[in-house]
Amino acid sequence: MNGVPGMYSEKETIDKIQNAMKNGVNKLYKAKCVNWIGVSNDSPPKPYVEIIAKELINKHYVGKLARWAAVKRTEYYSPNRRRIMINVDSNRKKENVAKVLFALFSDKSRRTLGELGNIFDHQVPLRKVKNDEAGKIDLVSYDQEKQKIWLIEMKNKENHETLLRCILEIATYYQILNKPSFVKDYELLEMDHAAVDSIHKAVLVFEDSSQSSDLEEMKKGNRPQLEKLSKLLDIEFFLLNINNQVKRVF
């Protein structure tokens, strides 16, 4: 049920995403259908991500998400996260990759992650209480020259989630982030008088990953609805290569 090509028609796909939206737009990125790969069983077939992206646009998902209230969290920074410990036996590969990138491109390293600047924290929690469903922001970075704060949804190479899910996830995290508290909680941002409206959304994927293939399809014009949705949500995309160099894709 997780995206076998040809399993669902366009109508069935639309029904699935409409039902998922009833659970709240803040939970939509967790819906199984946004991770479906392949194409519908219609003639001609349509990519599932295109069907869903178009339906979200038509059902005013962007506006509904923009009205969703932030989680009232007052503390985001924890000094414990600056002490990097990587468990190579852990199955949390994504967290390990985030820690490595933080170590390589932290505000203390004098190295920058391209236009994304320096990473000043990782695995930033959004939830207010322990059993809250809100997740964690993989990486947060700051381009001091342009005074841009980046909330980054990062996918390691082994991850096969769709680009659509990445887009919905970081858009949701941006919306539920208590932005004034977030900026105030980091000395780096407060000392630089960083503004709330300088916070941007980014998706960072690895070269030769499944998500980079999705980006290539967008560049070729084969995912117009997905591209339109990402622009409506102000998502920017970056590609990380084997030499730890980052380039903007969109």
Query: Residue 3 has what pLDDT?
Result: 41
Q: Report residue 169 as tokens.
A: 């996830």
- The Cα–Cα gap between 234 and 242 comes to 27
For residue 225, CA distances in Å to 26, 56, 75, 203 come to 21, 10, 37, 17
- The Cα–Cα gap between 48 and 38 comes to 6
pLDDT digits (tens, 9 = 90+) for 88-111: 556 677 888 898 899 899 878 888
Query: Residue 2 has what pLDDT?
Result: 41
Please choose, from the candidates 52, 55, 20, the residue with its C-alpha nearest in 3D space to the C-alpha of residue 37.
52
pTM over 0.85: yes
- The Cα–Cα gap between 17 and 6 comes to 17
Query: Residue 88 has what pLDDT?
Result: 57
Please choose, from the candidates 162, 188, 121, the residue with its C-alpha nearest in 3D space to the C-alpha of residue 38.
162
- The Cα–Cα gap between 213 and 96 comes to 23
Per-residue pLDDT of the chain (250 residues; tens, 9 = 90+): 344 457 899 999 999 999 999 999 999 999 999 999 999 999 999 999 999 999 999 999 999 999 999 998 889 998 887 777 666 556 677 888 898 899 899 878 888 999 999 999 999 999 875 556 678 999 999 999 999 999 999 998 888 899 999 999 999 999 999 999 999 999 999 999 999 999 999 999 999 899 999 999 999 999 999 999 999 999 999 999 988 889 999 8
Determine the distance from the C-alpha atom of residue 247 to the mean position of all C-alpha atoms in its chain, rounded to a whole number: 17
Reduced to 3 states (helix: H, G, I; strand: E, B; else coil), residue 108 is coil
Query: Residue 136 has what pLDDT?
Result: 93
pLDDT digits (tens, 9 = 90+) for 143-186: 999 999 999 999 988 888 999 999 999 999 999 999 999 999 99
Q: Where are the domains of the chain?
A: 1-68, 70-248
DSSP result, 183-223: HHH-HHHHHTT--GGGEEEEEEEETTSHHHHHHHHHHTTS-
